[in-house]
Amino acid sequence: MITPLAKLTRLRSLITFEAAARHCNFTHAAAELGVTQAAVSKQIRLLEDMVGTQLFVRQNRGMYLTEPAKKLVTAVADGLSQIDAAIKEIQNSFLRSDVTITTTIATATLWLMPHLADFRSAHPDIDIKLVVSDALTNLVAEQVDLGIRYGSGDWPDVDATFLFDVTFFPACSPGYLRGKEIRTAGDLLDAKLLNLEGHVARDADWRWWLEANGVAGVSPKADLSFNNYPLLVQAAVAGQGVILAWGGITDPLLESGALVRILKEETRSNHGYYLVTPKLHELRKEPQIFCQWLLNETHAMGRWKSAPGD
């Protein structure tokens, strides 16, 4: 059995050998390593005794590698490079001052970006990297620190912390509403309805919303349909019709007056928004700072009291 001390001795000899082989000069290797030429010679002799063959030959005032030495130096150089790369990777993981976040296009566009300026102002030394995708991102495989996800909160690969719930209610631009009387859910049947299609629309369908608010047995006609929620919202802001606003996500537009809420009636989603982090993974300081900021921001919205289904 090789003892830890013996392994250390071998490593010292191999490091010395790599420097000597690279310079083909013991004096230059000693200068690089900060030792004497005699110390280099000693380590080379130890290594030659270990491998059982000569590694250097002197010829015509020069020093050359033997064939076994050429084979060995390639392996040693590769091994030391791997060790150096691993050390740098570990160092960088703790020295990094950035946070990588993933979320959907809608969440990034409509909610995160309007709020992010406050975080950047409070923490100008922390760089933000945003990975936007409507598909679920594998946080570990993609080297992402955290995510903001919409769903049930029971994803097996992450730890999920509830951020806020989502309600749906009709909204439009002030210009579109001007001169119109929309006082009940039934009045919406005469409005230009903008519809969201695709899997993201399962909680925000006009027919489902109208039935939940007393208008049953109708199939409302959508004047425009989109499979992208930010585009749907932009159409509403431009005065092209009425959307089902996602309370929480569209709050910045409602607060700015770009959109106005038409009715007090609303339905609540059976899903919510969650902060997700890699399961059983200790976050660096910067992601921890962002997580705390995110919790504070979403708690201030007043939508955090309970997760859907609680």
List, for residues 49-84, the tens digit of each pLDDT value: 989 999 999 888 888 999 999 999 999 999 888 988
| Strand bridging mode 146-151 / 127-132 | unpaired
CA atoms within 13 A on the CB side of 237: 14
**Residue finishing a domain among 52, 80, 95:** 95
DSSP string, 21-55: HHHT-HHHHHHHHTS-HHHHHHHHHHHHHHHTS--
List, for residues 295-305, the tens digit of each pLDDT value: 999 998 876 54
CA-CA-CA-CA torsion sign (240, 245, 251, 252): negative
Do 133 and 201 share a structural domain?
yes
The span from the CA of 246 to the CA of 52, in Å, is 75
List, for residues 96-125, the tens digit of each pLDDT value: 678 999 999 999 999 999 999 999 999 998
List, for residues 226-272, the tens digit of each pLDDT value: 888 999 999 999 999 999 999 999 999 999 999 999 999 999 888 99
The span from the CA of 161 to the CA of 307, in Å, is 9
Q: What is the pLDDT of residue 280?
A: 81
Question: In which domain, by residue range, is 49 found?
Answer: 4-95
Has residue 88 got a pLDDT over 70?
yes
Task: State the pLDDT confidence band at 308, using cuts at 50, 70 and 90.
Answer: low
Q: How many domains in the chain?
A: 2
**Residue finishing a domain among 53, 70, 95:** 95
Q: What is the pLDDT of residue 310?
A: 52
Phi, psi for 192 (deg, rounded to 5)? -80, 110
Distances (CA, A) of 231 to 37, 166, 235, 236: 72, 19, 6, 9
Distances (CA, A) of 71 to 18, 65, 183, 274: 12, 10, 85, 55
The span from the CA of 162 to the CA of 300, in Å, is 14
Do 288 and 205 share a structural domain?
yes
Q: What is the pLDDT of residue 202?
A: 60
Predicted TM-score (pTM) of the model is: 0.67
Do 298 and 157 share a structural domain?
yes
Do 111 and 24 share a structural domain?
no
Has residue 177 got a pLDDT over 90?
yes
The span from the CA of 70 to the CA of 129, in Å, is 45
The span from the CA of 221 to the CA of 225, in Å, is 10
The span from the CA of 21 to the CA of 16, in Å, is 9
